[in-house]
């Protein structure tokens, strides 16, 4: 990088791109894989990651190497991801089935009737609010209910008096 001896010793490529582990053991890079170069295998780490949906970019700030541990991890992801994708597909298919059944249920006649009845509820409540006005007009003539009240209580007292009188 800088050109002087000390700076040239340290390079971003001395570390694993993923776990940032120092790959240099006693000054020698070991147990590592070059991400963008094939090592006899058919695919590069770059191609394998691209297949999984991760596209790496070559950058001077990013290492071109990965450690053995991360390469092994990549192999496990490649092995297990199809299983995970299978789970995803199953869930998506179930969701689609549920969505289809919902669409079939909504146009039923009962649902349509319910929708028409629902807006009919608020208007009657508004009509009930207006009657209190005419009720106030009845207030000026309370004598009528009080008279009936008196007559009822008078009749009751009479009926009560009669057995009492009979007893006496």
Q: Interface with Zn ion includes 154 (CB under 5 A)?
A: no
Give the bridge partners for 165, in sequence order.
Answer: none
> Is residue 65 within 8 Å of 20, Cβ to Cβ?
no
Task: Report how far Cα 122 is from the mean position of its chain's Cα atoms.
Answer: 33
Q: Which is nearer to Zn ion, 30 or 157 (CB)?
A: 30
Rule CB under 5 A: choose which of 49, 64, 67, 74 binds Zn ion: 67
Enter the DSSP assignment of 15.
B
Smallest distance from the beta carbon of 78 to Zn ion, in angstroms?
16
> Is residue 31 within 8 Å of 14, Cβ to Cβ?
no
Cα four-point dihedral sign 81, 82, 86, 89: positive
Smallest distance from the beta carbon of 74 to Zn ion, in angstroms?
10
Q: Which is nearer to Zn ion, 72 or 151 (CB)?
A: 72
Q: How far apart are CA 66 and CA 71, in angstroms?
A: 7
Smallest distance from the beta carbon of 68 to Zn ion, in angstroms?
8
CA dist 6 → 32, 62, 118 (Å): 23, 20, 81
Smallest distance from the beta carbon of 25 to Zn ion, in angstroms?
14
Which range, of 62-70, 81-89, 108-116, 144-152, touches Zn ion by CB under 5 A? 62-70
What residues between 10 and 49 interact with Zn ion by CB under 5 A? 16, 18-19
Under rule CB under 5 A, how many of the chain's residues touch Zn ion? 5
CA dist 80 → 48, 67, 120, 125 (Å): 14, 20, 57, 62
Smallest distance from the beta carbon of 90 to Zn ion, in angstroms?
32
Q: Enumerate binding residues for Zn ion (CB under 5 A).
A: 16, 18-19, 67, 70
């Amino acid at each position: 990088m800088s050109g002087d001896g000390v700076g040239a010793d340290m390079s971003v490529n001395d570390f694993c791109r993923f776990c940032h582990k120092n790959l240099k053991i006693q000054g020698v890079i070991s147990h590592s894989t070059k991400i963008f170069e094939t090592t006899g295998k058919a695919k590069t780490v770059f191609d394998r990651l691209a297949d999984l949906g991760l596209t790496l970019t070559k950058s001077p700030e990013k290492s071109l190497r990965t450690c053995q541990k991360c390469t092994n991890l990549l192999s496990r992801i490649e092995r297990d991801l199809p299983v995970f994708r299978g789970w995803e597909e199953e869930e998506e298919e179930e969701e689609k089935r549920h969505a289809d059944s919902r669409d079939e249920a909504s146009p039923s006649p009962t649902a349509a009737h319910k929708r028409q009845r629902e807006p009919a509820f608020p208007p009657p409540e508004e009509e009930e609010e207006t009657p209190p006005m005419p009720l106030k007009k009845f207030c000026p003539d309370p004598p009528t209910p009080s008279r009936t009240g008196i007559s009822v209580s008078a009749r009751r007292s009479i009926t009560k008096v009669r057995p009492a009188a009979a007893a006496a």
